[in-house]
């Protein structure tokens, strides 16, 4: 195998990963749901391994696996000072959640991180220590020390963290949440906003890539497809028929509004008419950011545009994969 690629073994991260790579033309095939290996139909040189998201971070960081998908929250928690771990894509568009601090709803005077710092100081003066239940010990220690919360104790919690205050073994919690519903169901409220916004990301290992040119070649293919798919989600292709005297006449009229003339400008070609009314028509093709669709349509209409069609591209490639080029700079630095 030229590249080992780890993905989450179950849950929403597994489902999102399979769907995302399928949309990139990289279908993950798992013949048996009880098997912990799979394949990518388009890349026979890739061995897909299914692991716990936390294990993926550890294995990639240690160079055992060249490529992996996990949550950004786990990457930031577990990477430590291991410089070989690199984040290739920090947002794949799914698995979104936030790491937050939550306190009992009964604490009506605690609304912000500053309030928590004051409470921690008061407890310390009374001979007590603020107890924080979390599985994100490293992130929360860094956060608390940087926000003036200096007297606290981390209570390790690897499951049902939201129950900790009610069960009496912690005062507050730090955990990830998508909607906040579970926190509210346990009479907890978020204070101070998100500590970290997390989502599915792709990670790799400089050590592993340096030792395997074949893995690098396969990684380039994967990143070309992933980057082109992600980029395609941000643009649309517009075609329209516009009457004009020549290709240059139509092109110049469109370019009079450069911000509405496409990513690199319009492509203009004569329409070959099959009836007299279509004489003098030119077809214009533009690739534009999605948020400018209506503005571009109106611009084309002012120029006499008709038969305007808008279509999303499946992929949008540029001269090179910027992500892969950045990775290689980091690997070879």
**Candidates 3.90.1150.10, 3.30.200.20, 3.40.50.10470, 3.30.70.120; CATH matching 235-311:** 3.30.70.120
Q: What is the pTM of this model?
A: 0.86
Structure tokens at 40: 């990518």
- DSSP 3-state percent helix, strand, coil across the chain (nearest 5): 40, 30, 30
Hey, how many other C-beta atoms are within 10 angstroms of the C-beta on 122?
Answer: 12
Amino acid 89: pLDDT: 92
pLDDT over 70 percentage in the chain: 100
Over the stretch 226-236, which tens digit does the pLDDT of each residue have?
999 999 999 99
Over the stretch 36-57, which tens digit does the pLDDT of each residue have?
999 999 998 899 999 999 999 9
Amino acid 212: pLDDT: 86
Amino acid 1: pLDDT: 55
Query: Whole-angstrom Cα distance, residue 37 to residue 220?
Result: 22
Q: What is the per-residue DSSP string for 66-94?
A: SEEEEEHHHHHHH-TT-TTEEEEES--S-
Residues of the chain with pLDDT under 70: 1
Over the stretch 141-151, which tens digit does the pLDDT of each residue have?
999 999 999 99
Q: What is the CATH number of domain 97-198?
A: 3.40.190.10
Q: At the topology level of CATH, where does 3-95+199-232+321-332 sit?
A: D-Maltodextrin-Binding Protein; domain 2 (3.40.190)
pLDDT over 90 percentage in the chain: 85
Going from N- to C-terminal start, the domains of the chain cover 3-95+199-232+321-332, 97-198, 235-311
Amino acid 279: pLDDT: 84
């Amino acid at each position: 195998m030229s590249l080992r690629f780890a993905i989450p073994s179950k849950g929403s991260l597994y489902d999102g990963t399979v769907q995302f790579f399928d949309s990139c033309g990289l279908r993950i095939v798992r013949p048996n749901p009880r098997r912990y290996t799979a394949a990518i139909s388009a890349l026979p040189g890739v061995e897909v391994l299914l692991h716990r998201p936390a294990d993926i971070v550890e294995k990639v960081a240690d160079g055992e696996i060249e490529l992996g998908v996990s949550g950004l929250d786990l990457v930031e928690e577990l990477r430590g000072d291991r410089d070989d771990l690199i984040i290739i894509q920090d947002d794949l568009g799914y698995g979104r959640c936030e790491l937050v601090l939550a306190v009992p709803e009964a604490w009506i005077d605690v609304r912000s991180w500053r309030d928590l710092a004051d409470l921690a100081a008061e407890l310390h003066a009374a001979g007590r220590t603020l107890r924080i239940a979390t599985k994100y010990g490293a992130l929360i220690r860094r956060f608390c020390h940087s926000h003036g919360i200096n007297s606290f104790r981390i209570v390790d919690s690897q499951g049902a963290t939201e129950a900790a205050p009610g069960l009496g073994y912690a005062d507050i919690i730090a955990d990830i949440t998508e909607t906040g519903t579970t926190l509210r169901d346990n009479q907890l409220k978020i204070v101070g906003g998100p500590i970290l916004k997390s989502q599915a990301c792709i990670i790799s290992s400089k050590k592993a890539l340096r030792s395997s040119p074949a893995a690098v070649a396969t990684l380039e293919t994967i990143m070309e497809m992933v980057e082109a798919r992600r980029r395609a989600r941000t643009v649309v292709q517009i075609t329209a028929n516009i009457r004009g005297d020549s290709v240059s006449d139509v092109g110049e009229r469109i370019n009079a509004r450069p911000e509405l003339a496409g990513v690199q400008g319009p492509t203009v070609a004569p329409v070959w008419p099959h009836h007299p009314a279509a004489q003098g028509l030119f077809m214009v093709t533009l690739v534009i950011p999605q948020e400018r669709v209506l503005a571009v349509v109106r611009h084309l209409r002012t120029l006499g545009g008709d038969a305007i069609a808008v279509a999303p591209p499946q992929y949008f490639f540029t001269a090179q994969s910027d992500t892969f080029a950045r990775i290689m700079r980091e690997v070879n630095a």
